[in-house]
Amino acid sequence: MTGRAPLLAALALVLLFDPPALGQTVTRLPEVLEAAEAVYPPEARELGLEAEVLLEIDISEQGEVLDVRVVQPAGHGFDEAAVEALRRYRFRPAEVDGAPAAVTIEFRYRFELRQETPPPPAEGVLRGRVVDRESRQPVVGALVDAGEAGVAETDADGRFEIADLPAGRIRVVVVASDYERFETEELVAEGQATDVVYYLEPLPRSPYESVVRGRRPKKEVSTVAISQGEITRIPGTHGDTVRVVQNLPGVARIPYGAGAIIVRGGEAHDTRAYVDGQYVPLIFHFGALSSVYASELIQEVEFEAGNFGARYGRATGGRVEIVTRDPGEELRLVADADLYDATGLMETRVSDDLAVALAARRSYVDAVLNAATQLVPTAFEGMGFSVAPRFWDYQAKIAYRPSENDRLRLDVYGSSDRLAMTGVNTGVETDSSMETSMGFARVALSWDHRLDDSTRTRVVLAPGWDQIRMAMEPLLFDLNVYSLTARAEAFHDVSSVLSIGAGLDLLVSEQNMLIQLPVDEPGQIPPPDFRDMLGHLETQVTLVQPALWTEAVIRPVSRLSLVPGIRVDWDSYLEATWVDPRFNARWQVADGTVLKGGVGLYHQPPPPQTIVEEYGNPDLEPEAAWQYALGVEQHLVGPLHLDFQVYYKDLRDLVVVSDRVVRRGGEEVLERYANEGTGEAYGAEILLRYDADARFFGWLGYSISRSKRHDRLRDRTTPSFTEQPHSLVGVGTLELPEIWEGFSIGARVRYTSGNPYTPVIGGVYDADRDAYRRLPAPDSRSQRLPDFFQLDLRADKEWDFGTSRLSVYLDVQNVTNRKNAEGVIYNFDYSESDYLPGLPIFPSVGIRWEI
């Protein structure tokens, strides 16, 4: 194999351990400033061997290589040669919020042989840029190989130039870490420069933390970060990044794929959703068909099933946060359409320091329903849509960098869902009208500022508006909330051992509420006509919910980080203050092995409907939970990683229905709700993940859990309403071999225990209503639905036209057409029952065009 020279390629900048500080964002990955060529092992060269060595490199804040370790050896002398070469590398240091920081990265060093022949006469120039196809950001350090004619490496702007090329067609190969190999042919004209732009396809990224760019330092126990990218090819998610959260261990399966996210035996309202730190009231549109934020502008989705840090509060369960990205540097247009909605996106850089992005989505479920009505005329017999079901959302971004130490960003986003029907049978009227609408809007202005190398601040002001309206004459629930979210945070690295952060998390809202709903009498057969029990509440409440938090990262010894934190909340409506201490720890006991654990106290206000006057109990106190978690992360082999956690939640002061009579305001009233509930949830979660490579990514998650609630008023213990003792979810997508160029297939398989339910043991005939009233069994949730199983498949095909791409997909849910039970239905007198069937086999298609 003499006559072939080594081609050393591949910069696999895989961020492993970020700088140890609070709330930081990695704004720039380390870049190679000086590359050193490894000595090709003579033995390997003689045998014609090529190889790739996976290394782990510690890089200082100055960009120096501190240490190099072999993660995946290749033998034959490759490992030693790669280590020796890497020790001579120099990097431009990584930056955290614009400042240099020490990091640990994964690095793939590739040894390839190529034919050594004398270069032909130089007559032309090939020059241009290499950019990320998705983000349009420049790809730094990419190797542009024009064969024997020459090789160039892209600079910080992604630019390259290869001079002295022979005229005629040349083959160009571009390789870069985290990107698929790119090959093309160029026609080099004699004496002229050929300008090109190469768009590199990012490698499929793991849905987990290790490959996500710019994510916060890992210091919590249960964090999972989902990056936008190939993750969108998971079947059953309609290409929606946020919906992937529903496939993670610890997340309950909700009937019909509804939008709630219920974690670790909790309730829907226990988990709070955020967009870039701002609370949002909903995260999914109708029926969870899509999330309320365009996946194309999402950098990642952070999901914590529990034990989140002190920076977040007002929830006793988990946290879901959509972290959005800055607009890209190149012009990018995307059009995406599937069975339910269409999305359009435009982003571009206006100047060196200013970039903008616009995106919008509009559903056409209304048109699909109309088509369904044409096919099945009786599908909605008697009912009509005065406003057919439709949803839309929008996002606009302006990112401005006035200096190296400042970044300003204006985000405007919102969502709206609306539906209005006529001909609704309410039981007392057969032709009533119904209207429901939900929406929100946010205008978020954020300012990130670096004071010096170790201190930075972040201020966010986000006025907003939320609306929930449900009307079915004469029933009405109308809530308009005008709010201001404010976050002011500061982070300081005291030393290499200690970093601290503190901040204000303020939510001020004016809640305008108009409620005209029946006033329930707990435990009683309701009156024949609900209109005879209507209450009326029209109120305006100004709610102030400030919170102060502080958190520290302490590194007493290498590879051990301790994160104590404390949060103090106040609620003006409840007139209550609560203090939540929290503590998390991570300890890398060996290469590839991390032990982790956490304990913390969490509080949340009671559900809104339980605390309003007339319908609830305004004297309620916040609900609380102590959360405990222990776990281990283990790198198994190659791309396989294991994450194992056990957790326990001690729930206190839960709100339960009360039929007690109490004195309030000098009058005897029904208490309706009381903090007389307790509970516990415990379980274990296993996540076996296959980190993305060029062909495959996926994961297998299993959770075993129990969740109980105890009602002290009735001395009754029941399982929580979504207690699913066993849950198994496997997802994966596979790029087919080149012969199937552009084809990929994916599968998702889910198995979960059935939800518990309270059986109805009979009915009493309400002669005033001509209807039977159900009589539930005294033991709540004493029975369980059959286990759930579903297999979903998806196939994607992509055509690459150089500067544009076209892709289509077919997504089939429940391919086995299994009739899963999602509930129980009864005949008119409750003497017979049957299971309510779930989603039948359900195909959908989508198309996407991008330039």
Partner 1 sequence: MRRRSAIVACALALGCGEGFLPPSYVNELRVLAVRTEPPEIAWGAEEIPSESRISVLVADPVQLLDPTREVVVGYLSCTADPARLEFNPCTAVTTLRSPGELAAQLPKELCEGGGGDERQRNPFAFLGAERCRHAEGCEPLRVPVGDFELPLPPPVFRLEDDLGLSALPANHPARTRGHQVVVLAFAVAAAPAELVEGADTSDECRLGTSLMSRFIQLFEERESVMALKRIQVRGPDQADEPNENPRITGILVRGVPLPAEPADPWPEIATFARKQSIFLHPRPAPAPLDEEGRPLHGSEKQSYTRYRHDGTPLGTEVEEWRYSWFSTAGRFHEARGDTEGGIIWAAPTGDSEDPVPPEGRVFLYLVVRDGRGGVDWVRREVRVR
Site stretch for partner 1 (CB under 8 A), options 208-216, 247-255, 426-434, 543-551: 426-434
**What values do phi and psi take at 159, rounded to 5?**
-90, 155
Cα separation, 474 vs 534, in Å, equals 9
Q: Which residues in 669-688 contact partner 1 (CB under 8 A)?
A: 669-670
Contact 299, 806 (CB under 8 A): no
DSSP letter at 462 equals E
Beta carbon nearer to partner 1, 440 or 772: 772
Q: Strand, coil or helix: what is 409?
A: strand
Beta carbon nearer to partner 1, 453 or 834: 834
Site stretch for partner 1 (CB under 8 A), options 399-407, 570-578, 620-628, 819-827: 819-827
Sheet containing 298-304: order of strands: 223-227, 298-304, 319-324, 272-275, 278-279
Beta carbon nearer to partner 1, 192 or 833: 833
The answer to whether residue 832 forms part of the interface with partner 1 (CB under 8 A) is: yes
Nearest approach, Cβ of residue 664 and partner 1 (Å) = 12
Beta carbon nearer to partner 1, 183 or 532: 532
> Which residue is it, tokens 């946020």?
242
Structure tokens at 633: 């992360």
Beta carbon nearer to partner 1, 153 or 614: 614
Q: How many residues does the chain have?
A: 851
The amino acid present at 849, given as its one-letter code, is W
The answer to whether residue 536 forms part of the interface with partner 1 (CB under 8 A) is: yes
Beta carbon nearer to partner 1, 542 or 827: 827
> Which run of H or E residues covers position 87?
helix 78-87
Nearest approach, Cβ of residue 515 and partner 1 (Å) = 12
- Parallel/antiparallel/unpaired status of strands 341-351 and 354-363: antiparallel
Say if residue 776 is preceded by a cis peptide, omega within 30 of 0: no
- Parallel/antiparallel/unpaired status of strands 124-132 and 193-200: parallel
Cα separation, 439 vs 416, in Å, equals 4
Q: Which residues in 742-761 contact partner 1 (CB under 8 A)?
A: 761
Report CA torsion sign: 375, 377, 381, 383: positive
Q: Strand, coil or helix: what is 345?
A: strand
The answer to whether residue 406 forms part of the interface with partner 1 (CB under 8 A) is: no
The answer to whether residue 197 forms part of the interface with partner 1 (CB under 8 A) is: no
Nearest approach, Cβ of residue 785 and partner 1 (Å) = 16
Nearest approach, Cβ of residue 837 and partner 1 (Å) = 9
Nearest approach, Cβ of residue 527 and partner 1 (Å) = 8
Contact 170, 159 (CB under 8 A): no
Cα separation, 716 vs 445, in Å, equals 49
Per-residue CA distances from 335 to 70, 346, 360, 455, 805 (Å): 43, 9, 10, 41, 11
The answer to whether residue 539 forms part of the interface with partner 1 (CB under 8 A) is: no
Per-residue CA distances from 81 to 64, 478, 649, 653, 850 (Å): 18, 69, 51, 62, 42
- Binding letters toward partner 1, positions 761-800, x by CB under 8 A: xx-xxxxx-xx-x-xxxx----------------------
Q: How many residues line the site for partner 1 (CB under 8 A)? A: 48
Beta carbon nearer to partner 1, 333 or 775: 775
Site stretch for partner 1 (CB under 8 A), options 19-27, 322-330, 515-523, 636-644: 515-523
b (16+ CB within 10 A) / e for 406-425: ebbbebebbbbbbbbbebbe
The answer to whether residue 661 forms part of the interface with partner 1 (CB under 8 A) is: yes
Cα separation, 303 vs 74, in Å, equals 36
Nearest approach, Cβ of residue 613 and partner 1 (Å) = 12
Q: Strand, coil or helix: what is 166?
A: coil
Nearest CA to 569 out of 507, 618, 612 is that of 507
The answer to whether residue 496 forms part of the interface with partner 1 (CB under 8 A) is: no
Site stretch for partner 1 (CB under 8 A), options 113-121, 186-194, 529-537, 595-603: 529-537
The answer to whether residue 828 forms part of the interface with partner 1 (CB under 8 A) is: yes
Nearest approach, Cβ of residue 660 and partner 1 (Å) = 10
> Given candidates 519, 548, 552, 688, which one binds partner 1 under the rule CB under 8 A?
519
Beta carbon nearer to partner 1, 765 or 799: 765
Nearest CA to 129 out of 154, 150, 162 is that of 154
Cα separation, 140 vs 158, in Å, equals 5
Q: Which residues in 460-489 contact partner 1 (CB under 8 A)?
A: 474
Cα separation, 456 vs 336, in Å, equals 38
Site stretch for partner 1 (CB under 8 A), options 38-46, 182-190, 486-494, 667-675: 667-675
Beta carbon nearer to partner 1, 331 or 775: 775
Site stretch for partner 1 (CB under 8 A), options 124-132, 492-500, 741-749, 826-834: 826-834
Phi-psi region of 545 (alpha: psi -120 to 50; beta: other; left: phi over 0): beta
Beta carbon nearer to partner 1, 367 or 825: 825
Site stretch for partner 1 (CB under 8 A), options 97-105, 217-225, 424-432, 728-736: 424-432
Nearest approach, Cβ of residue 522 and partner 1 (Å) = 9
Beta carbon nearer to partner 1, 127 or 531: 531
Beta carbon nearer to partner 1, 177 or 780: 780
Rg of the chain over Cα atoms, rounded to whole angstroms, equals: 29
**In the complex, which residues of this chain contact partner 1 (CB under 8 A)?**
428-431, 474, 518-519, 521, 523-525, 527-529, 531-536, 614, 659, 661, 668-670, 761-762, 764-768, 770-771, 773, 775-778, 825-829, 831-832, 834
